[in-house]
């Protein structure tokens, strides 16, 4: 059968790649003022690639990202290693799957025995800095390791609802730091939650929602939501700040307690697109800043995300992430490398590939801890399959097939015939299920490099995480 042949081919490819214990370098480099390439890694939380123009979206959501991408390499089939922020970003910085770094819940932090990309670069003499929106990308979870400067910007107190949540709130400190370090080799990590729910309307961003006048318009801002009475009508969780909108999304919409019309759903999607357009302008400003400092030809810049977002897709029907459907684990990955021609690649890649790509681009030796592969040269094969892990779920995805292992059972999807992952074929293809499940378990069958450490969350920490929709 066709699917059985695909599984067998996947197994053979996996066996061949397993022999490559170290990574191929060969990525072009350009010297910075001290002879090395700078690195800027940007993660826009909850950003779906199919809502960017460079990936085919028809709305004008991303003119700045699109312009950046036209001078870069666009990876069309990039996947995150988790469906939520904390473990996925640790995979991004350690090149380990969640089961490898061990931080699979908010009660753990990164163990001291695991190296991070910024630690490696710091040891090589790079100046390192991070400017983040905090929460699940916080020093409490070990993200500050290897950074000379680790700035967490966030203020949830009225009237500063969400201050520091957005990229623009980080720009002042970020740009000042770049001014002070333009003559030295550096690594900068930037993370912002603009495209994470709640999706708020913005002055100055494209208005994709002007013809809509229904009840979901109340979700555009905190004051409108409070005035709408939706919280009381549907007995959604009471809260005092902006993010009680998330309580409505999680408790009412995702539980199916409200019937949404096609126009209601379209408005929610339009708000998400509006958020992309808003943060997109920050990418313009960052690129312009690097150009003004004369750093374009000396800087490797990577733009990606930790996960995407379900947007009420048929058959799934939620506004959320955390699952392992493609709308959640498929992420943008755009890489601009000095003296490297722009291109597009369809090979399967993962965000664990970012650290080995950086080391190769900088001419540094590979790290045997890393589970990823360098993204370049483009003519090298990608992964025969990609893996992601969630809360109780595990995923193995080839170019054509996906296996989801859940507590309630295993599902198998034909991504060619059923890209929406709505028809479970597990019962009719038991041989494929057994082979792919064994491959998944064998790939993850490595002991944790160092036990994750316990984290004690304060009530304020829990309140902020609850506001994000992660805690009940």
Can you name the residues that pair with 132 across neighbouring β-strands? Answer: 152
User: How do the pLDDT tens digits run along the chain, 472 residues long?
Assistant: 444 544 444 444 443 443 333 333 333 333 344 568 999 999 999 999 999 999 999 999 999 999 999 999 999 999 999 999 999 999 999 999 999 999 988 888 999 889 999 999 999 999 999 999 888 899 999 999 999 999 987 655 444 454 557 899 899 999 999 999 999 999 999 999 999 988 888 888 887 877 888 989 988 888 888 888 888 888 776 545 555 787 788 788 888 888 899 999 999 999 999 999 999 999 999 999 999 999 999 999 999 999 999 998 877 878 889 999 999 999 999 999 999 999 999 999 999 999 999 999 999 999 999 999 999 999 998 999 999 999 889 999 999 999 999 998 999 999 999 999 999 999 999 999 999 999 999 998 764 555 566 666 566 655 555 555 554 4
For residues 320 and 318, what is the distance between their CA atoms, to the nearest angstrom? 6
For residues 69 and 334, what is the distance between their CA atoms, to the nearest angstrom? 6
Distances, alpha carbon 157 to alpha carbons 11, 161, 222, 457, in Å: 53, 6, 13, 19
Dihedral (CA of 462, 238, 392, 307) sign: negative
- Give pTM, 2 decimals: 0.88
Number of H helices, E strands in the chain: 14, 16
Phi then psi dihedrals of residue 441, to 5 deg? -65, -40
**Structure confidence at residue 252 (pLDDT):** 86
**Structure confidence at residue 446 (pLDDT):** 64
First vs last Cα of the chain: how many Å apart?
A: 45
**Structure confidence at residue 100 (pLDDT):** 92
Can you name the residues that pair with 73 across neighbouring β-strands? Answer: 335, 343
**Structure confidence at residue 237 (pLDDT):** 60
Residue pLDDT, tens place only, 253-311 = 888 888 899 999 999 999 999 999 999 999 999 999 999 999 999 999 999 999 999 99
**Structure confidence at residue 396 (pLDDT):** 98
DSSP state of 321: -
332 three-state secondary structure: strand
**Structure confidence at residue 319 (pLDDT):** 86
What is the token pair recorded at 420?
Answer: 């929406």
Residues 6+ apart with CB under 8 A from 101: 87, 90, 91, 94, 110, 111, 114, 448, 449, 452
Residues 6+ apart with CB under 8 A from 234: 248, 251, 252, 257, 258
**Structure confidence at residue 32 (pLDDT):** 43
Architecture of domain 27-381: 3-Layer(aba) Sandwich (3.40)
Phi then psi dihedrals of residue 347, to 5 deg? -70, 155
Can you name the residues that pair with 129 across neighbouring β-strands? Answer: 149, 188
Dihedral of the alpha carbons of 338, 344, 350, 353, in degrees to the nearest 10: -20
Domain residue extents for the chain = 27-381
41 three-state secondary structure: strand
């Amino acid at each position: 059968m066709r699917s059985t042949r695909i599984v067998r081919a996947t197994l053979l490819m996996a066996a061949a790649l397993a022999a490559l214990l170290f990574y191929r370098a060969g990525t072009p480099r350009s010297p910075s003022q001290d002879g090395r390439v700078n690195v800027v890694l940007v993660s826009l939380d909850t950003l779906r690639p199919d809502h960017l123009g460079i990936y085919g979206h028809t709305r004008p959501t991303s003119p700045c990202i699109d312009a950046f991408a036209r001078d870069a390499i666009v990876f069309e089939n990039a996947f995150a290693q988790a469906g939520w922020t904390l473990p996925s970003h640790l995979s991004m910085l350690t090149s380990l799957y969640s089961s490898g770094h061990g931080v699979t819940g908010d009660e753990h932090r990164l163990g001291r025995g695991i190296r991070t990309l910024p630690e490696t670069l710091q040891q090589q003499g790079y100046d390192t800095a991070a400017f983040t929106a905090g929460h699940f990308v916080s020093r409490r979870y070990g993200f500050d390791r290897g950074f000379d400067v680790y700035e967490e910007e966030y203020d949830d107190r009225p009237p500063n609802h969400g201050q520091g949540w957005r990229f623009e709130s980080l720009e002042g400190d970020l740009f000042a730091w770049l001014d002070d370090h333009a003559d030295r080799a550096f690594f900068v990590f930037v993370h912002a939650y603009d495209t994470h729910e709640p999706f708020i309307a913005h002055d100055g961003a494209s208005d994709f929602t002007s013809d809509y006048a229904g009840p979901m318009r109340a979700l555009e801002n905190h004051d409108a939501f409070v005035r709408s009475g939706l919280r009381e009508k549907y007995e959604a969780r009471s809260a005092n700040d902006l993010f009680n909108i998330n309580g409505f999304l999680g408790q009412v919409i995702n539980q199916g307690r409200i019937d949404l019309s096609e126009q209601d759903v379209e408005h929610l999607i339009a708000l998400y697109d509006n958020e992309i357009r808003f943060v997109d302008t920050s990418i313009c400003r960052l690129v312009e800043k690097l150009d003004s400092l004369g750093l374009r030809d000396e800087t490797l810049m990577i733009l990606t995300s930790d996960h995407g977002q379900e947007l009420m897709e048929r058959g799934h029907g939620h506004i959320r992430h955390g699952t392992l459907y493609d709308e959640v684990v498929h992420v943008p990955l755009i890489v601009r490398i000095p003296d490297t021609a722009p291109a597009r690649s369809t090979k399967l890649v993962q965000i664990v590939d970012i650290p080995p790509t950086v080391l190769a681009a900088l001419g540094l030796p590979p790290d045997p801890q890393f589970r990823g592969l360098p993204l370049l040269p483009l003519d090298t094969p990608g992964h025969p399959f990609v893996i992601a892990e969630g809360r109780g779920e595990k995923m193995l995805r080839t170019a054509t097939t996906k296996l989801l292992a859940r507590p309630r059972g295993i599902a198998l999807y034909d991504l060619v015939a059923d890209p929406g992952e709505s028809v479970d074929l597990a019962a009719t293809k038991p041989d494929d299920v057994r082979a792919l499940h064994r491959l998944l378990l064998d790939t993850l069958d490595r002991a944790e490099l160092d036990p994750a450490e316990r984290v004690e969350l304060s009530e304020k920490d829990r309140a902020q995480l609850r506001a994000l929709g992660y805690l009940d």
